A and B are shown apart, each in its own frame.
Chain A
Amino acid sequence: MDLVANNLSYKPDDQYHLNEVSFNFKEGNLYTILGRTLSGKTTLLKTIAGLLTPDSGEIEFDGKNFLKIPVWERNVAMVYQQFINYPHLNVFENVAFPLKQRKIDQSVINEKVMDALNSVGLVGYEKRKIQELSGGQQQRVSLARSLVKNAKILLLDEPLVNLDYKLREQLRDEFKNLFSKGLADETILIYSTTDPRETMELNGEVIVLDEGKVLQVGPAKEIFENPNSLKVAEISNDPPMNIIEAKISDNQIRFEGIDVEAPQHLSKLTEDGLKIGLRSSDIELNENGHEFEVELAEISGSETLLHLKRGYTKIIVSIEEVLNFKIHDKVKINFKIDRAYAFHADGKLASSPFGGLNG
């Protein structure tokens, strides 16, 4: 039972929320929609759920025209980024709600609800009011409510974004467990997120969305290794990939007075307007390196993000330890240049260290 969309467009105001989006989702698979805020992720999920009607395009599910089926008959489940539950019902009643709606036998409901609560680790909380739960627990309740239905299509709209760091990690692991147990082989799981790490960890098929347009589709590894454009490289890396305007000549990459020997996959690119892309993790501090000035140093978790500047070139370096720097400090860095990407002036990938479009 495939979910197939053809040229979905939705333009409620002067901006496209969806712009000619097409996809073919197969049952039993996990699809991650990766995009920045306002890229159209929620719009896409709501369109699949049936809460929005696109201006043009088609959605078919199981060979049937999905757009003609009202939301309440589609058998989809959705978890919102805000923790949406029914405030007037307790935990048990919340999870039981979709089943009661189907007029299922009470004993079957009890069993299924307890199963669902068990899989999200909320057994013992049945009688609690929703308002008495923490954010993470509230999100578990809405996850349980979406699992209990055995829906053919499960939509998760940035389910972890409003949780604090620790809970997010924990719940993400539980999600992975749930997903890998195979929810049910016939479920299509669609997960939207702004977080590249989450995308890589979930390791599903990735759809990169920007301004309502699909930029690239492929397995997480492929998106990471061979982003087809500058935009995708920015969206799929956190911090975004460093982009350096450089020139390659005589087998040297030249920018800001620095000459770096070009690796083999870049050496033949000599065009104008070339942009070199290098992940923040592919730059390291090195006594014998090139001098940059510190503009800002932020410590995030156990990482230090260094914002550096040299001439007009600004880069971000991530270091796997907590270090203290003062603004205007001089640091010396080295580029792991064999891991550099090159993009044409129009933003298209020119060459990647993983073999995409080797120049």
Chain B
Amino acid sequence: MNKLYIFLKYFFIVVWTVFVVAPFLWALTTSFKDFQSVNGGVTYIPWVDFEPNLEGWKVLIKSPAKGGVDIIEPYFNSLFVTCTASLISIILGTLSAYALSRYTFKAGFVKNNDITFFFISQRIMPPIVLSIPFFLFLSSINLLDSLTGLIVVYIVLLMPIAVWIMVDFFNKVPREIDETALIDGCNPYQAFLKVVLPNSIPGLIVAGMFCIIFGWIDFFFAFILTFTEVQLLPVKIVALNSSVTPWWSLSASALVSVAPLIIVAFIVERYLSKGNLSGAIK
């Protein structure tokens, strides 16, 4: 019984690992192939099945004049926009969420829940609906085709996620903890910074992760709101497509664009396995 269990356990782990890893291996090998190797049937093992070359990767760093797409600048643009927007969204979102969780707001029929819903409702509309006002808004303040403009728009898109996650999280932190901090001599700001925030790290990590993911994968707004001056990675990758689908450079760009998310996932996983995500607050 026990042996069967162990066998089944490892069997499923192996199957699942193959399932998860295979696409990455496929992309990795494809990125080193040329036209011949891609169309020459199923091949996996470099130097045996096919002759690897770096053409697919070189395209990503060559300037357009030399027939490449040069994703280096868009890559760092994307990193910068995503990280800045996520950071600002987390800060603003956490502060708003704390206020919404702890204080009662009333303006006519508008109460706390309505305000929270207002934030979430920003994510209900299809992007195309938002794109028109965003475009007009950015063009009126001369921020079209700029990193700042993109950051502003991304904050609008990411902050609701942060608010949503953190309101829920703060609601689960007993109010008595804040009150005890006040009684122990903290003013409300100190109570928030010294007591509530350190106990909310799990929530902050989850919110941060979602912000980074949603910021990093956005194509639509990056496409609509930028032209030539500034470009983000997803938009640039699309430029790879031509009459002949360049599987090798598509694979290479897929790998580089998923890399930051994998790193984020590993960091979170590390944190998770230390048991820090659960049990901080009962």
Given the interface contacts A84-B174, A84-B176, A86-B199, does A131 sit within 8 Å of B279 by beta carbon? Answer: yes
Q: Are A87 and B185 in contact (CB under 8 A)?
A: no
Any B CB within 8 A of the CB of A149 = yes
Residues of A within 8 A of B179 (CB): 46, 49, 51, 71, 78
Any B CB within 8 A of the CB of A166 = no
Q: Are B177 and A97 in contact (CB under 8 A)?
A: no
**A positions within 8 Å CB-CB of B:** 46, 49-51, 70-74, 76-78, 80, 82, 84-88, 97-98, 101-102, 131, 142, 145, 149
Distance in angstroms between the alpha carbons of A71 and B184 in the assembled complex: 9
Any A CB within 8 A of the CB of B282 = yes
Among A50, A97, A131, the residue within 8 A (CB) of B184 is A97
Distance in angstroms between the alpha carbons of A203 and B66 in the assembled complex: 92
Given the interface contacts A51-B179, A84-B176, does A98 sit within 8 Å of B280 by beta carbon? Answer: no
Residue of B174, B182, B183, B281 ringed by the most chain A CB atoms within 10 A: B183
Q: Are A88 and B183 in contact (CB under 8 A)?
A: no
Among B180, B187, B198, B279, the residue within 8 A (CB) of A84 is B180
The prevalent SS among residues of B at the interface is: helix
**Can you offer 12 A-B residue contacts whose CB atoms are under 8 A?**
A50-B182, A51-B182, A71-B179, A74-B183, A76-B183, A78-B180, A80-B176, A82-B174, A84-B174, A84-B180, A98-B184, A131-B279
Q: Shortest distance in angstroms between A281's beta carbon and chain B's nearest beta carbon?
A: 37
Interface membership of chain B positions 182-195, coded 1 if the CB is closer than 8 angstroms to chain A and 0 otherwise: 11111100100001
Residues of B within 8 A of A84 (CB): 174, 176-177, 180
Residues of B within 8 A of A80 (CB): 176, 180
Question: For this complex, into which size category does the number of interface residues on chain B fall?
Answer: 20 to 34
Residues of B within 8 A of A85 (CB): 180
Given the interface contacts A82-B174, A101-B186, A131-B279, does A88 sit within 8 Å of B180 by beta carbon? Answer: no
Q: Shortest distance in angstroms between A354's beta carbon and chain B's nearest beta carbon?
A: 40
Query: Which residue of B has the minimal Cβ distance to A74?
Result: B183
Residues of A within 8 A of B280 (CB): 87-88
Q: Are A149 and B184 in contact (CB under 8 A)?
A: yes
Distance in angstroms between the alpha carbons of A97 and B183 in the assembled complex: 11
Q: Shortest distance in angstroms between A191's beta carbon and chain B's nearest beta carbon?
A: 16
Among A76, A77, A86, A101, the residue within 8 A (CB) of B177 is A86
Residues of B within 8 A of A74 (CB): 183
Residues of A within 8 A of B184 (CB): 72, 97-98, 101, 145, 149
Distance in angstroms between the alpha carbons of A78 and B281 in the assembled complex: 20
Q: Are B183 and A86 in contact (CB under 8 A)?
A: no
Q: Shortest distance in angstroms between B35's beta carbon and chain A's nearest beta carbon?
A: 57
Distance in angstroms between the alpha carbons of A70 and B177 in the assembled complex: 17
Residues of B within 8 A of A149 (CB): 184
Residues of B within 8 A of A98 (CB): 184-185
Q: Are A88 and B199 in contact (CB under 8 A)?
A: yes
Query: Which residue of A has the minimal Cβ distance to B188?
Result: A72
Distance in angstroms between the alpha carbons of A300 and B254 in the assembled complex: 69
Q: Shortest distance in angstroms between B25's beta carbon and chain A's nearest beta carbon?
A: 42
Query: Which residue of A has the minimal Cβ distance to B176?
Result: A84
Q: Are B195 and A86 in contact (CB under 8 A)?
A: yes
Q: Are A131 and B199 in contact (CB under 8 A)?
A: no
Distance in angstroms between the alpha carbons of A49 and B187 in the assembled complex: 14
Query: Which residue of A has the minimal Cβ distance to B180?
Result: A84
Query: Which residue of A has the minimal Cβ distance to B198?
Result: A88
Q: Are A131 and B282 in contact (CB under 8 A)?
A: yes
Among B174, B177, B182, the residue within 8 A (CB) of A72 is B182
Query: Which residue of A has the minimal Cβ distance to B173?
Result: A87
Distance in angstroms between the alpha carbons of A51 and B188 in the assembled complex: 11
Distance in angstroms between the alpha carbons of A78 and B186 in the assembled complex: 14
Residues of B within 8 A of A86 (CB): 177, 180-181, 195, 199
Closest 6 CB pairs of A and B: A101-B185, A98-B184, A71-B182, A88-B198, A84-B176, A72-B185
Residues of A within 8 A of B176 (CB): 80, 82, 84
Residues of A within 8 A of B180 (CB): 78, 80, 84-86, 142
Q: Shortest distance in angstroms between B228's beta carbon and chain A's nearest beta carbon?
A: 49
Among B182, B190, B199, the residue within 8 A (CB) of A87 is B199
Distance in angstroms between the alpha carbons of A251 and B250 in the assembled complex: 106
Residues of B within 8 A of A97 (CB): 184
Query: Which residue of B has the minimal Cβ distance to A73?
Result: B185
Q: Are B281 and A87 in contact (CB under 8 A)?
A: yes
Query: Which residue of A has the minimal Cβ distance to B179?
Result: A51
Given the interface contacts A82-B176, A87-B281, does A102 sit within 8 Å of B199 by beta carbon? Answer: no
Distance in angstroms between the alpha carbons of A84 and B180 in the assembled complex: 8
Q: Shortest distance in angstroms between A11's beta carbon and chain B's nearest beta carbon?
A: 16
